[in-house]
Structure 1
Amino acid sequence: MQRASLGAARGPHLLPAAARVQRQRNSTRSLLRVLATDAAAVQEPAAAASSSARSSVPTSDVLELDFCSRPLLDERGKKVWELLVCSSDRSFEFSQYFPNSKINSVELRKALESVFSQEGAVLPTKVRFFRGQMTTIISRALSELGIKPLPSRRCFSIMSLLEDRLESVYKADPRYSDKATSMFNIDLGAPEPLPDALRGEKWAFVQLPLGNLREMLGPGDMFGSSFNLAAAGLGDLPSDVLVPGVAVFSRRALPLAAWTNGLEISGVKADVERSCLILETGVSQRWRYGGWRPSPDSIAEAEGWEEAKQGLEGLHFLAVQPDPDSEELNGLWLLLDKMPPSV
């Protein structure tokens, strides 16, 4: 997949903050032609639920789950495990501790059954989890309940919840031990060649104001995925902040977006050493997603794009459209370059 030439654009900053255009209304205007947004007119997303508004009864179709040891030691000096479940907006949160002698799919299924059997509870159709080492136990328990297990790093809400609990719950627990950190870390291997079905023809570094991204993701008339910024700890970002992204162009943009939508995309990286983009999916899958000829300019552009992404704590996006001048947008994914906390 080749780099696209975008005319007079320079570097990753294709959308200068000083430029102005009319606000989009129910339109998927070309990413490369939208330069700014009326921040006051953009509807802010709902904030993460306050503790008083949270419910113990799940009603969401999709949930996030973590089942792992915590930095807590019981009276025998053994690690305490915890089942943690939440909705994407964290309006529902559930926690249950387990002794390390009851870490199996049967005990996990029983705990989940008690949650979903509550009055008013809705059985989710799918549950995301990010610890690949726990795939067998978690998948078996969920499948026996008729729930689709989704190994995925798009567990941004539960990752944020874990970070919160480390400070407010675990460290306040008398059983806390900083030597009892989890050994279940994500092992990212070398990137693999990209399957042909996922390959576009050209690509480019782009950026958009956050407000525009929210509007484009709102209608739900194209392929893509978003997440609750507030629940992921990013609720304070202003609507006019420029979010870095990657736009992929293809004459077969619609089927390309459909195939891409079948992946659990967590992020895109600009790998300067390999002179290519890396698409990260699932828990630990990595794919070579597009390349560039190494030069001082291309290296500086890739590094600048990564710096812009890290300046927003990893927030970025991926878009698929027929060509740079097209009015049509076939896919848009809001992404977060975030590794799970070591909890």
Structure 2
Amino acid sequence: MGSIWELDFYSRPILDENQKKVWEVLICESPLDVRTKPDSLFRFTKYCPSTEVNSVWLRTAIQEAIATSGESPSRVRFFRRQMNNMITKACQDAGIPVQPSRRILMLHNWLTQRMEQVYPNEPGYQGGTNPSVRLDAPLPQRLPDALEGEKWGFVTLSASDFNDMPEWDISFGEGFPLEMMGISADTPIPGVLVFSSRALPMAAWMSGLELSSLRFDDTQGARLVLETGATESWILSNISNPNIKTEASTFEKARQKANGVHFIGIQSSPESESFAGFWLLQEVILP
């Protein structure tokens, strides 16, 4: 698998000489495993005048990024649903597959850093928020019957346990360097292991969903919800047992203490020493 890029194209809190919002494209490479050095990942940025905001300008910028990088990515991830048509067309015209995704951890960190340290130093900076268009998310869907786990359970690993993740026997999965999230080696990382006789098909299906995060939701009955893509979510399990509810609540608290970092693994049985699927996850609050 080649590199994966994360892309944002949107207005910034900066006004030009005509008092119009300045737009910017940010492109960065996704970290794909725990040993990735964040500073080694490709980054590209370019401001765009408000009069030139269109898919043609964006496609040209993407092609410039490819020329700078020296290679084309295997696909592009983006999170702004309101920019779906423009970003999708620009990427497709550049010959690159594109997917809506909330798995934009590198981009999220970079955008946060630029909001705090770069844009305030630009001429025409306008303090305060740079509002995005909020779109309602659909209700969580029920998993297809063939993909429901037969058993599952909460587990906890130390952050240092993930140092050997590249050596684990994993058919489908993705990680990222925990240091990028400010996680120390002794931080407990909570997770969920799902066991299924159809572990490999289940992991293959999940690998195409752009996994974002797993959360405990007790607002409409206790349940584990898997967030995927730009807005999709799936009910991994409904929870009625009081003891399991307590474990789920503990998982949620541990997830928050670990800066939102957690994981999901899929195995054929508790005795298996391999993973059909394993993903490190982090919930990000999108702008």
Measured at CA, do residues 167 and 218 of structure 1 come closer, stay the same or move farther in structure 2, by a change above 3 Å? farther
> Structure 1: which amino acid aligns with 2:89?
R
- What code does the residue aligned with 1:279 have? L
Unpaired stretches in structure 2, ≥5 consecutive residues: 31-37
1:286 aligned to 2:253?
no
Whether the 8 Å contact between 1:275 and 1:294 is mirrored in structure 2 is no
2: CA distance, partners of 1:103 / 1:220: 45
What corresponds to 2:64 in structure 1? 114
> Which residue identity does 2:5 align to in structure 1?
L
Structure 1 runs not aligned, ≥5 long: 1-59
SS in 1 for 2:225: strand
C-alpha change, 1:136 and 1:238, in structure 2 (3 Å) is same
Which is strand-richer, 1 or 2? Answer: 2
Report the Cα distance in structure 2 between the residues aligned to 1:332 and 1:182, rounded to whole angstroms.
Answer: 35
**Structure 1 position 246 matched with structure 2 position 192:** yes
Q: SS of the residue aligned with 1:95?
A: strand
What is the TM-score when the length of structure 2 is the normalising length?
A: 0.89
Native 8 Å contact 2:8 2:25 kept in 1: yes
| C-alpha contact 2:170 2:275 (8 A) present in aligned 1 | no
Shift of 1:221: 4.3
Quote the offset at 1:320 in angstroms.
0.5
TM-score normalised by the chain length of structure 1: 0.75
Q: Residue 105 of structure 1 corresponds to which residue in structure 2?
A: 55
- Cα distance change, pair 147–96 in 1 and its aligned pair in 2 (3 A): same
What pairs with 1:1-343 in structure 2 (closer than 5 Å)?
Answer: 61-88=3-30, 89-90=38-39, 91-118=41-68, 121-179=70-128, 181-185=130-134, 187-219=136-168, 221-230=170-179, 233-234=180-181, 236-273=182-219, 274-293=221-240, 295=242, 297-340=243-286, 342=287
- CA distance in 1 between counterparts of 2:53 and 2:256 reads 36
Larger RCO of the pair (alpha carbons < 8 Å, separation 6+): 1
8 Å Cα contact 1:266/1:280 also seen in 2: yes
Q: CA deviation at 1:194?
A: 1.6
What letter matches 1:316 in structure 2? H
- Could you report, residue by residue, the CA deviation over 1:68-104 in whole angstroms, capped at 9, with x for unpaired residues? 1111122333221110011223532211111222211
Separation in structure 1 between the aligned mates of residue 129 and residue 195 of structure 2, nearest angstrom: 47
**TM-aligned CA distance change 1:213 to 1:196, over 3 Å:** farther
Please tell me whether the aligned partners of residues 170 and 278 of structure 2 are also in contact (alpha carbons under 8 angstroms): no
Work out the CA distance in 2 between the residues paired with 1:129 and 1:228: 20
- C-alpha change, 1:327 and 1:92, in structure 2 (3 Å) is closer
**3-state SS of the aligned residue for 1:83?**
strand
* 1:205-236 deviation digits (Å, cap 9, x = unpaired): 11112222332344564211112334xx32x4
Alignment partners' CA distance in 2, 1:220 and 1:71: 46
The answer to whether the Cα contact below 8 Å between 1:318 and 1:332 also exists between their aligned partners in 2 is: yes
Please state how far the C-alpha of 1:132 moved relative to its aligned partner.
Answer: 1.4
- RMSD, aligned CA: 2.0
Determine what percentage of the aligned residue pairs are the same residue: 40
**Do 2:195 and 2:268's aligned partners in 1 also have CA atoms closer than 8 Å?**
yes
One-letter code aligned to 2:25: L
